[in-house]
Amino acid sequence: MLLVMSKNATEKEIEDVIGAIKEQGYTPRPIPGGERMSIGILYNKGPVDGSLFLGMPGVQDAIPVTKPYKLVSREFKPEDTIVSVGGVKVGNGHMTIIAGPCAVESEEQAITIAQKVKAAGADMFRGGAFKPRTSPYAFQGLGLAGLKILEKVRKETGLPVVTEVVDITTFDQVEESADLVQIGTRNMQNFSLLKRAGASKRPILLKRGMAATIEEWLMAAEYILAEGNSQVILCERGVRTFVNHSRNTLDLSAVPVVKTESHLPIIIDPSHAAGKRDQVIPLSRAAVAVESHGIIVEVHHDPGKALSDGAQSLYPEQFEQLCMQVKTIFNSLKV
């Protein structure tokens, strides 16, 4: 933390700030400048709350110098983390394709789609059993029955399954059925849920919040690692901006930034970013070209009858084409 004093801060004000820093157990280091004094705060353990000093007379600005995250940081663990999901590896050199419907609607629907996406090249199956919906009147998912269907999908196809958990109450059951437990965008800062995920035996797929900075996102992951679960996969799914031609704006520069800052794998969800089918394939190609560790894509064999998110779900043939294209790009980059 660097405190910048205002140009006309008095000696007394500067001394008071230095005293306040010491009182917190930190080490102040005054840095006289051309026009004003700055004061570095050193040897702090954990993040310094700049607001402690910002309100003091003469203090103009409090600038964080170091990042608040630890366990998720590459400084802490330089080598890439590879997360294993039911035998499928995610991270460092692998490009994983996860596909399936927005929601599990029936056993027949789920298995039909799972077989199609497996044949096309998917490594894992996705499908929601508990669905967080904006409207209380919209289809909320099959719940526990959906989890049972997911288990059948795994048994029938051999694909590991990923599904979302929406609260602590149902965490045990989701954890029991899923190979990878998803925490959704709207729960990225549901800290109770994050702590529970930290105590889970399953790897966690942590989606970025709709308006989260990368720092906040990594801090959310830090909650999980701090409780003992280091198997976290990050998932960029678009952020909310003024742009109205897609549901969200896919922030692909998050990929190089996360890969620099953290050792955790990062994948891309082009379906929720786009919200429209015809953007999903180009954005998937871009996700692989930017060297994310994989994609998670919505596919439905009959999108016009999907109970949710039909417009962004690919037809199986489109998904097949997508798989071929992203694998071509992935291979071309390996050379």
Residues 49-88 that bind its own copies (CB under 8 A): 49-56, 61-63, 65-66, 68, 75
d(Cα 167, Cα 325) in Å, to the nearest integer? Answer: 37
Residue carrying the six token digits 């998912």 = 141
Closer to its own copies by CB, 193 or 205: give it. 193
Structure tokens at 108: 């027949």
Distance separating alpha carbons of residues 163 and 104, to the nearest angstrom: 9
Residue bearing tokens 């997508």: 322
CB of 98 to its own copies, least distance (A): 19
Smallest distance, its own copies to C-beta of residue 156, A: 27
Q: Which of 279, 295, 299, 323 binds its own copies (CB under 8 A)?
A: 279
Closest contact distance (angstroms) between CB of 129 and its own copies is 14
Which residues are within 8 A (CB) of 91 and not within 5 positions of it... i.e. 6 or more apart?
Answer: 80, 81, 82, 83, 233, 264, 265, 293
**Minimum Å distance from CB 86 to its own copies?**
27
Q: Which is nearer to its own copies, 58 or 160 (CB)?
A: 58
Q: Does 135 bind its own copies (CB under 8 A)?
A: yes
Number of residues that bind its own copies (CB under 8 A): 110
Minimum separation from the CB atom of position 128 to its own copies (A): 13
Beta carbon of residue 188, minimum distance to its own copies (angstroms, whole number): 8
Residues 8-47 that bind its own copies (CB under 8 A): 20, 27, 29, 31, 33-36, 38, 40, 42-44, 46-47
Site for its own copies in 87-106 (CB under 8 A): none
Nearer CB in complex with its own copies: 100/160: 100
The H or E element spanning position 320 is helix 316-334
144 is an interface residue for its own copies by CB under 8 A: no
Q: Quick check: 192 binds its own copies (CB under 8 A)?
A: yes
Interface residues for its own copies in 284-313 (CB under 8 A)? Answer: 285-291, 303-306, 308-313
Cβ at position 78, least distance to its own copies in Å: 9
Which residues ranging from 146 to 185 are in contact with its own copies (CB under 8 A)? 166-169
Question: Using the rule CB under 8 A, is 228 a contact of its own copies?
Answer: no
What is the SS3 assignment for 11? helix
Amino acid, res. 45: K
Q: How far apart are CA 156 and CA 133, in angstroms?
A: 29
Q: Which is nearer to its own copies, 38 or 173 (CB)?
A: 38
If one asks whether residue 223 binds its own copies (CB under 8 A), the answer comes out as: yes
Helix 214-226 vs helix 254-261: angle between axes, to the nearest 10 degrees?
A: 40
Single residue of 11, 79, 93, 335 touching its own copies by CB under 8 A: 335
Distance, CA of 292 to CA of 274 (rounded, Å): 17
H or E segment to which residue 180 belongs:
strand 180-183
- 179-185's contacts with Cβ under 8 Å and 24+ in sequence apart are 179/85, 179/86, 179/124, 179/154, 179/203, 180/85, 180/86, 180/124, 180/204, 180/205, 180/233, 181/205, 182/126, 182/207, 182/235, 183/207, 184/132, 185/209, 185/210, 185/237, 185/272
* Binder of its own copies out of 150, 254, 264, 322 (CB under 8 A): 254
The distance of closest approach from Cβ of residue 297 to its own copies in the complex, given in angstroms and rounded to an integer, is: 15
Task: Select the span of 79-87, 106-114, 144-152, 270-278 touching its own copies (CB under 8 A).
Answer: 270-278
Where is 117: in which H helix or E strand?
A: helix 107-120
* Helix or strand run (H / E) with residue 325: helix 316-334
User: Which of 145, 155, 199, 256 touches its own copies (CB under 8 A)?
Assistant: 256
